[in-house]
Amino acid sequence: MARLLFTAREFGSLSDPINQKLSHQLEVLVGKPLQFMHQTHSNNLHLVNKVEAIKEDTDSLITDNKDLALVVRVADCIPLLLYSTNLVAAVHVGRKGLVNEVAVKTVEKMQSLGAEKVSGVVGPHICGDCYEVGTEMADQIMKSHPATAGKKAHLNLFAGLKEQLPNVDLENVGICTMEKSQYFSYRKADESGRQVGVISL
């Protein structure tokens, strides 16, 4: 079974540039070296085996090394942590990531690397009642991703993700970053703080 962790505001922010002291504290907590990524809402995956300075746009990390922990940083987007018996992945899924199918690509990659059953946990993110976008954008996304449809121009990212990954057992911790003051939320306060999701084998 994989080991998973989500931080909240109280732990501190791991936005860019990464606070080295805080990163070290997290590493001590996790007990393994941490691999971060340069997140840009892309659908690029990176297979890692040891800690690397990843310069390229990357929104999904995968490893089979049990001595490495993968980190995804978020402040409203979905921190998606995926695991199988032989692999783990940390994926950054916002609206753009839903559309560019970064999670679908990740699961396919895990399967090509021998993962039989892939499961996942979705950490704190903005919920479907709070995530309002422009009408035109909402219409466009609801058309291609019907499950995201909520009240008016609100998008339910988790429902959209679930729809994209029908064969993955997805658990949602059910915490909304915009509603809960304990979490960083870009939308709530236009702040740059980031909480993290961490996973390792």
Number of helical (H) and strand (E) elements in the chain, helices listed first? 6, 10
183-198 burial, b for 16+ CB within 10 Å, e for fewer?
bbbbebeeeebbbbbb
Q: Which of these, 159, 182, 191, lies nearest to 8 by C-alpha position?
A: 182
User: CA–CA separation, 195 vs 15, rounded Å?
Assistant: 8
User: Least distance in Å: CB of 125 to Zn ion?
Assistant: 9
Instruction: Give DSSP secondary structure letters for 167-179.
Output: TSEEEE---BTTT
Choose between 36 and 158: whose C-beta lies nearer to Zn ion. 158
Choose between 129 and 171: whose C-beta lies nearer to Zn ion. 129
User: CA–CA separation, 98 vs 78, rounded Å?
Assistant: 10
User: Least distance in Å: CB of 176 to Zn ion?
Assistant: 3
127 binds Zn ion (CB under 5 A): yes
Choose between 130 and 198: whose C-beta lies nearer to Zn ion. 130
> What is the footprint of Zn ion within residues 159-188 (CB under 5 A)?
176, 178-179
The residue within the footprint of Zn ion, chosen from 77, 130, 157, 196 (CB under 5 A), is 130
Choose between 26 and 141: whose C-beta lies nearer to Zn ion. 141
User: Least distance in Å: CB of 36 to Zn ion?
Assistant: 27
Under the rule (CB under 5 A), what is the footprint of Zn ion?
A: 127, 129-130, 176, 178-179
